[in-house]
Amino acid sequence: MAQLILFNKPFQVLSQFSDDQGRRTLGDFIPLPAVYPAGRLDWDSEGLLLLTDDGPLQARISHPRFHLPKTYLVQVEGRPGEQELQKLRQGITLKDGPTRPARAERIEAPDLWPRHPPVRTRKTVPDSWLKLTIDEGRNRQVRRMTAAIGHPTLRLVRWQIGDWSLEGLAPGEWRATTVHAPKPPAARKRPRRRRSPGPRPRSSDRR
């Protein structure tokens, strides 16, 4: 069994245990040895971060090839229409290539904790919320996707990774659970080389 930590990372906390610039880190909240983040969440993003003490589980959660779905609640500037949402669902071409299709929908403002400091909004520009699910992990991908449809991200909260969610966790809180650890990939066996048969003895050499 592997240990898995579900942590609600607050705004402006690094997804690492130390920092030489004095910024807040995971070490300010999680006093556990030998657990490591499975993936990352940006300094200016909030929400679910998973940590584990198991290497294969860490890889299965964080490595892009497993396409583990991640759901975000995203406050954006403006009000995207169906045409903009369809672009997200079909995949958008970013500077590092096209994204995989996402699940995207408009939602009512979720009942979330207040952010400190609060989001800066403009009285003359409305804002709205999206629920966005992707199965990739590019750098600042969600922010780049909403910017590409003309609606910059104001606040980003990761709510769910796979079957694990933030339900019941306030900012800075964590809970531990145990899960079955995936087996590490089996080492490939090298095929044995067949020995090439030696030269047949000449008839004069036979006994």
- Sort residue 44 into left (φ over 0), alpha (ψ -120 to 50) or beta: alpha
| C-alpha span between 10 and 25 (Å, rounded) | 10
Query: Hey, which residues are catalytic here?
Result: 42
Helical (H) or strand (E) element with 143: helix 141-148
**Which DSSP category does 27 fall into?**
G
The beta strand positions in the chain, using DSSP E, are 2-9, 36-37, 46-52, 70-77, 93-94, 97-98, 103-107, 127-134, 153-161, 164-165, 174-179
With b meaning 16 or more CB within 10 Å and e meaning fewer, what string describes 6-21? bbbbbbebbbebeeee
CB atoms within 10 A of CB 116: 9
Which value, in Å, is the radius of gyration of the alpha carbons in the chain? 25
Residues in contact with 168: Cβ distance below 8 Å, sequence separation at least 6, in sequence order? 175
